[in-house]
Structure 1
Amino acid sequence: MHNYILKDENAIYYECGYSCDNVIFIQLGKEAFFITDARYSIEAKQHVKNAQVIESKTLIKTAKELLKKSKVKKMVFDGNDFSYDSYQALVSHSSVKFINKPHFSHLKRVIKTTQEIDYLKKASQLGQKGFNALAKYLRKNGFDENEKFLHFKATEKMSQQGVYDLSFDPIVAINENAAKPHALPTSKRLNKDDLILVDAGVKFKRYCSDRTCTAHVDFEKLNFKREQTFKNKKHQKIYDIVLKAQLNAIEKARVGMKAKDIDALTRNVIAKAGYEKYFVHSTGHGVGLDIHEHPYINSKSDVIIEENMVFTIEPGIYLPNEFGVRIEDTIVMQNGKAVIL
């Protein structure tokens, strides 16, 4: 693919080592152009690699002039990148044929380089540090604090007081709120023997980590380790099923399998225990510069899993109005097997 145009920040960062929220990137054979406005051009000139920085007040107009001058016939773009209006502006009165290839940048990035895996590993280590700091805070000061405040503390601890960007807005959910996979924080308060679910991640050099821990609330021993002992028998039962499902997939995932085979490794354990209808999402998703990337680990995907792919394994069981359990790790396929980052 020699000629393509990008607007997505992370896709552009992948191409040239810098990005911003108002840019058009064009690759024409061996030449590349980074078109942005005066707010970003100084930084762009310092950081952009392998592309010429062009400062412009009207990005699409400049892009069209560039394409006209280059006499290029065809351009690949990702339909997810452009709003309807910007796409219309781009194609009107243009002799270039624009070819829509959805997610072509994600597909290009699906096999991670050694350096990318190092960054993702570092992000995961920082994430683990954040979880440990949050657990310590909860043991000392978490009692009777509400989810909204605990969400704020999760943000503070995960980012190491603002040193790192977060991969996404953390999820902190107690008891019945944990039954919503993407719960928003409420004024529900944390008490002894509650169940708490925390889903959070941190970025290192723009690469994301992603982990979910479900824990028993005990103000002496609260931790986010995988071995959890709940006072509530039903909490324990569901937790053990989800952990078994997750470990089954981590232990048995192999290069050469289809994504749907890995999805089946979690889903079958949960189905066998009688909770299939309460596992409402897919087993996982790729992680990289974006928090959700290819490959998607779901029951329909025939994508073949390859060496150096990175994705999450995150089964869950969600019992409405009661509680939910999700256990998530990000893994990399190395030497044919899944290795937890």
Structure 2
Amino acid sequence: MENYILKDENAVYYDCGYSCDNEIFLKVGDETYFFTDARYSQDAKENIKEAYVVETRSLLKSVREVLRKKRVKKLVYDPKDFTVAQFEELKKSGVYLIPKPMFSWKKRAIKSDEEIELIKKSAQINKKAFDKFASFLDREGRNRSEKFLQFNSKIILSDFGERDLSFEPIFAINENAAKPHAHPTPKVLKNGDLILFDAGVKYKRYCSDRTRTSLISDGLTFEYKQSFNNSNIQKAYDLVLKAHDEAIKRARSGMRAREIDKIARDVIEKGGFGEFFVHSTGHGVGLDIHEMPFISSKSETIIEDNMVFTIEPGIYIPGEFGIRIEDMVVMRGGRAEII
């Protein structure tokens, strides 16, 4: 049985149902330990599943004591979890440390039915928040800055602080939307502008992720069907939507992730915008907003049922406009279903 150590909050939560910002989780044989300080120990004892809670002022020192007591010889760790100083401290235990990058992501890549239901709930809440934000933009968005509108999107998405967000929302107008991860500017929204909105919320810690590109006009919506005044924008938008639809329609369990990326990329390349599709087609979503599988041109991951990931092709013309359409899908019965 593999011994391992975790420090990432979501990785720890997945294993024991609780995490905080100062913790270490250790699995040794059949036993599991949760190390934390006095600020969190009581909360941990009330919420944790099947782990010894060890209250300590020095997490790594206490971990070393357990490793020595249990005579652990080998221990798996994720190099992303620990600083060099923490790694050197851990080495003092004398245990042989085995690096396994992303090993928690790998075991979380195939979601349980319960996890899928939580993700679906998160996506449903997110969609309703998108609709509320569209109504807000239609009523009050004109002559307001990206900064103001992005800030208000957070209020609406979080329901005035009731929910956590999956990430900092992206709200971008016209040429700023050509930056896939645009930061809001003082630019003011006008009728006829293109907007790109990318946002997500959490439900019981599980993330959602969605992007829509729309035209600012009376009766603004985030529906797929959009009609732009600029023919080049319309052509690009229609290509992105086609790439999105084709990738979802043709994705199959048993494919390599890069094959799904190629389906979307081929549509955009054949339409003449290949050089402007500058990121991967998608990424896994769960406790982390970006996790396995990664739907990229280099990914050899075999897609399996119960994997959840995004499909989000895009076209970005520097200095002019950007378009992205994103939905989350779950693989069920060998095919992709939009969540």
TM-score by length of 1: 0.98
Give CA-to-partner distance per residue, 1:144-182, whole Å, 9 cap, x none: 110001111110111122111000000000000000000
What per-residue deviation string (whole Å, max 9, x for no partner) do you get for residues 181-212 of structure 1? 00000000100010000000000000000000
Q: Determine which of 319, 322, 326 is the counterpart of 1:321.
A: 319
d(CA) in 2 for partners of 1:29, 1:208: 31
Distance 2:152 2:236 in 1: 27
1:144–1:191 contact (8 Å) kept in structure 2: yes
Task: Report the secondary structure of 2:182's partner residue.
Answer: coil
How far apart, in 1, do the equivalents of 2:157 and 2:226 lie? Answer: 21
Shift of 1:2: 2.3
Query: Which residue of the partner structure matches residue 155 of structure 2?
Result: 156
Residue number in structure 1 paired with 2:216: 217
TM-score by length of 2: 0.99
CA distance in 2, matches of 1:230, 1:259: 32
Q: Is the 8 A contact 1:193 1:232 kept in 2?
A: no
What is the distance in 1 between the residues matched to 2:326 and 2:136?
22
- Contact 1:212–1:328 (CA<8 Å) still a contact in 2? yes
Q: Secondary structure at the match of 1:141?
A: helix
Matched to 2:241, the amino acid is L
Deviation at 1:302, TM superposition (A): 1.3
Local SS of the residue matching 1:117: helix
SS in 1 for 2:261: helix
Deviations along 1:272-328, whole A, 9 cap, x unmatched? 011111000000000000000000001111111000000000000000000000000
Q: Specify every segment of 5 or more residues in structure 1 that has no aligned partner in the other structure, as ranges.
A: none
Distance 1:339 1:144 in 2: 38
Q: How does 1:23-102 map to 2 (within 5 A)?
A: 23-92=23-92, 94-102=93-101
Q: Please say which of residues 14-23 and 228-237 is displaced more in the overlay.
A: 228-237
Match of 2:239 in 1: 241
**1:171 to 2:170 alignment:** yes
Q: Which amino acid aligns with 2:105?
A: H
Which residue of structure 1 aligns with residue 270 of structure 2?
272
1:143 — aligned with what?
A: 142
- Structure 1 stretch 1-10 or stretch 72-81: which is displaced more? 1-10
Amino acid at match of 1:325: I
Q: Which amino acid aligns with 1:335?
A: G
User: Percent identity among equivalent residues?
Assistant: 56
Matched residues in 2 for 1:133 and 1:232: separation?
27
The Cα shift of 1:117 comes to 0.1
Q: Give the letter for the 2:275 counterpart.
A: K
Amino acid corresponding to residue 24 of structure 1 in structure 2: I
Q: Which runs of structure 1 show a deviation greater than 4 angstroms over 4 or more consecutive aligned residues?
A: none
Residue segments in structure 2 that go unaligned for 5+ positions in a row: none
- Total equivalences in the alignment: 339
Query: Tell me, what secondary structure is at the counterpart of 1:228?
Result: coil
